[in-house]
Amino acid sequence: MPRSWSSDLPTSPDQVVFSRTHSLIILFLYPDLFLVNTAQCLSGPEIGLVLIPGIDEEVAKLLKLKAQIGGDEGKHQFTLKTAKGTRDYNPKQMAIRERVFNTIIRCFKRHGAETIDTPVFELKETLTGKYGEDSKLIYDLKDQGGELLSLRYDLTVPFARYLAMNKITNIKRYHIAKVYRRDNPAMTRGRYREFYQCDFDIAGQYDPMIPDAECLKIVHEILSELELGDFRIKVNDRRILDGMFAVCGVPDDKFRTICSTVDKLDKMSWEDVKSEMVNEKGLSEEAADQIGQYVSMQGGMDLAERLLQDAKMSQSKQACAGLTDMKQLFSYLQLFQVTDKVVFDLSLARGLDYYTGVIYEAILTQNCPVNVSATQNGVDEKAEEGVSVGSVAGGGRYDGLVGMFDPKGRKVPCVGVSIGIERVFSIMEQKAEASARKVRTTETQVMVASAQKNLLNERLRLTAELWNAGIKTEVMYKKNPKLLSQLQHCEDSGIPLVAILGEQELKDGVVKLRTVHSREEVDVSRAELAEEIKKRTSDV
C-alpha cells in the first residue's frame, strides 16, 4: 500500500526517504539546478508532485555528472528509525535494566524458582480466544506458506501451553522475556509495542492460599528492594466479586461485563462507573447502588470476617468460599510479616477473563516522578496517566487456563504475578537522571596506559596478563595515545584505576598504579599488580 507523499514528507535530513523516481531524487540532490531548469512548471508546496515532461533526460545527464563527481555511493537509502512503538536500549539503559533484573531474579531464585523460555511466536490458534477484545492487538506474521504464527501477547498463555504440552503438573518458574502488543504507543505514554514481562508462577494442586501468599510476599520483597517508594498491594477474589454481583441482583450473563466496568474504578469516579453500568450495560439502578456500597470497602482480615457475617453476602456460597480463603490468606501474610502493605479492596477487579480466585495489584502510593514532557495528545493522555500510573505488579489465580490446552481438559491450578518492569525501568532511569552519581556502563577495573611513545607492545602484553588474571582491563587501540586522552577515557567511563607503563617502570619491573579520583600514584611490582587491583576494586 503506497503512502501518500504528503504524510511522508521528511521532517529532518536523517529521515529523508529517497523515492525510486529519479525526478524526486534529483530534487533533493540538486534543488537549485532543478529549480532553474523547471521553474516554469512548479507551483509552491506541491513541488515534488509535479511531473515535468522531458525531465528524465535531464535526470540521466545529472546522474551521470554526479557519478563522475563520486562520493555518494554510500548515500542513505533507508528510513533510519526503529519500528513504531519500539526502541533501542542504549548502554546506560541496559546497565539500569541489568540491575533491576538482577534484583528480581535474585528474589525469584531465593524462592526456589526455575526458569524456562518459549519461542517469541506461537501458532496463531494457540493465542486465539484467550484475550477477548484485546485479540486485535496481536501481531500476526505474514503467511509465507507454512503455519500461521503470531508474536506472543503475554507469557502466561505460552506457559499454560508449555505445561499442557509437556504434561507438567507441578512447577515454580519465572520467565523474563519480551511480549508484543499492537497498541497505539503514542496514546499511552511509557507503553511500548515491544516490552518486557517478568512473570513468576506456581502451578500445582496444593493446600489453599499457601502459594498465593508466597506470590504476595515476592511482590513485597521486590518492591521493597527496588526502593521505588511506598506501595500498597490490593487483593480481592473473583469468587467474592461474582458472589457480590449475584447478591446485588446482577444477572448471570452480565457478570463479566459489569466486572470490566468495576475494573475502571481506579481511573473513573464511582458516579461515572455507575452511569456506565446503568446506561450502557442496562443494570438496574438499585443493583448498581448495592454494588457501590460494597466496592467502597477496604480492610484486612477483619473486613473478610465482617462480610462473612453480612446478611446478603453470606447468602452466596461463592462469596463465602472466597472470604474464607481471604481470611486464610491474611493469616499467612501475617506470618510473612507483609500485612502492612496489603489491603483487601472490593473494588479491585482486573481485566483478564482467566482469573478464577485471588487477584492482586500493587501500586506505588508516592508521587513518583513521571516524565510528562510528551504532551502531544494532551487531555486524553493526562487522563490515562493520572490515576493508574502507580501500578507496578499484578496477578492472580487462574485454575482453568492449562485445561484449555489439555487434550483431556485436565486442569492444573496456577497462581502467579507479573512485575510491571517497564514502569520500574522508567522510574529507575529518572532516578538515575536526577542523581549526581553517574551510571557506569562497563565494569572495567583498570586501564593500561602509557605516557611515552612506542610502548604499544608493552601495553598489550600487560593487558593480556591482566585479562588472564581475570581483571577487567581496557587499553586504547592507538599506537601512541596521549596520556591525557587515556585519563579522560577513565573519567568518562568511571574506570577507577590506571596502570601506567614507562621505560623506567619496565626497567624496574613495576607499574605505576594511579587512582583516578585522587590522582594518587604508587609503584606496584608487576607480580603483585593483579592482586592489588582486585583489592582496590573489591567494592566496585
- The footprint of a second copy on residues 318-347 (CB under 8 A) is 331-332, 335-337
CB of 188 to a second copy, least distance (A): 17
CB of 462 to a second copy, least distance (A): 9
CA distances from 398 to 320, 321, 402, 531 (A): 19, 16, 9, 54
* Angstrom distance (rounded) from CA 262 to CA 202: 27
DSSP-derived secondary structure letter, 226: T
Hey, which residues between 420 and 449 contact a second copy (CB under 8 A)? Answer: 441-444
Nearer to a second copy, 281 or 411 (CB): 411
Q: Tell me how crowded residue 440 is: count the other CB atoms within 10 A of its CB.
A: 15
CB of 127 to a second copy, least distance (A): 10
Q: Tell me how crowded residue 7 is: count the other CB atoms within 10 A of its CB.
A: 6
Question: In a 3-state reduction of DSSP, which class is residue 104?
Answer: helix
* Angstrom distance (rounded) from CA 490 to CA 516: 7
Choose which of 41, 470, 508, 509 interacts with a second copy (CB under 8 A).
Answer: 470
Nearer to a second copy, 213 or 303 (CB): 213
Choose which of 55, 164, 222, 250 interacts with a second copy (CB under 8 A).
Answer: 164
What are 447's strand-pairing partners?
Answer: 474, 498
149 scored as a contact of a second copy (CB under 8 A):
yes
- Amino acid at site 532: E
Nearer to a second copy, 94 or 187 (CB): 94
267 scored as a contact of a second copy (CB under 8 A):
no
β-pair type (358-364, 391-397): antiparallel
CB of 83 to a second copy, least distance (A): 5
β-pair type (497-501, 446-450): parallel
540 scored as a contact of a second copy (CB under 8 A):
no
CA distances from 370 to 206, 356, 427, 428 (A): 41, 33, 7, 11
> On the CB side of 176, how many CA atoms lie within 13 Å of its CA?
18
CB of 304 to a second copy, least distance (A): 18
278 exposure class (CB count in 10 Å sphere: 0-12, 13-18, 19+): middle
Choose which of 467, 503, 504, 528 interacts with a second copy (CB under 8 A).
Answer: 467
Choose which of 404, 432, 451, 516 interacts with a second copy (CB under 8 A).
Answer: 404
Choose which of 206, 230, 365, 517 interacts with a second copy (CB under 8 A).
Answer: 206
202 scored as a contact of a second copy (CB under 8 A):
yes
Nearer to a second copy, 261 or 328 (CB): 328
Helix (H) or strand (E) holding 223: helix 210-225
Hey, which residues between 90 and 129 contact a second copy (CB under 8 A)? Answer: 90-91, 94-95, 97-98, 109-123, 125-126
Q: Nearest CA to 395 among 415, 412, 425, 423?
A: 415
DSSP-derived secondary structure letter, 438: P
Q: Which DSSP string do the residues of 312-354 spell out, in sequence order?
A: TGGG-HHHHHHHHHHHHHHHHHHHTT-TTTEEEETT---S-TT
Nearer to a second copy, 66 or 264 (CB): 66
309 scored as a contact of a second copy (CB under 8 A):
no
Hey, which residues between 2 and 61 contact a second copy (CB under 8 A)? Answer: 13-14, 16
CB of 390 to a second copy, least distance (A): 25
201 scored as a contact of a second copy (CB under 8 A):
no
Contact window for a second copy (CB under 8 A) among 261-269, 378-386, 429-437, 457-465: 457-465
302 scored as a contact of a second copy (CB under 8 A):
no
86 scored as a contact of a second copy (CB under 8 A):
yes
CB of 513 to a second copy, least distance (A): 18
Nearer to a second copy, 155 or 291 (CB): 155
Contact window for a second copy (CB under 8 A) among 343-351, 421-429, 465-473, 525-533: 465-473
CB of 482 to a second copy, least distance (A): 14
Choose which of 9, 54, 84, 302 interacts with a second copy (CB under 8 A).
Answer: 84
What are 151's strand-pairing partners?
Answer: 121
The three cell numbers of residue 466 are 591482566
Choose which of 382, 479, 482, 517 interacts with a second copy (CB under 8 A).
Answer: 479
CB of 297 to a second copy, least distance (A): 28
CB of 438 to a second copy, least distance (A): 14
238 exposure class (CB count in 10 Å sphere: 0-12, 13-18, 19+): buried
* Angstrom distance (rounded) from CA 191 to CA 186: 8
79 scored as a contact of a second copy (CB under 8 A):
yes
74 exposure class (CB count in 10 Å sphere: 0-12, 13-18, 19+): exposed
The three cell numbers of residue 220 are 513485597
Number of residues that bind a second copy (CB under 8 A): 111
Hey, which residues between 208 and 237 contact a second copy (CB under 8 A)? Answer: 210-211, 213-214, 217, 221
- Amino acid at site 426: S
Contact window for a second copy (CB under 8 A) among 176-184, 242-250, 258-266, 383-391: 176-184
- Amino acid at site 113: A
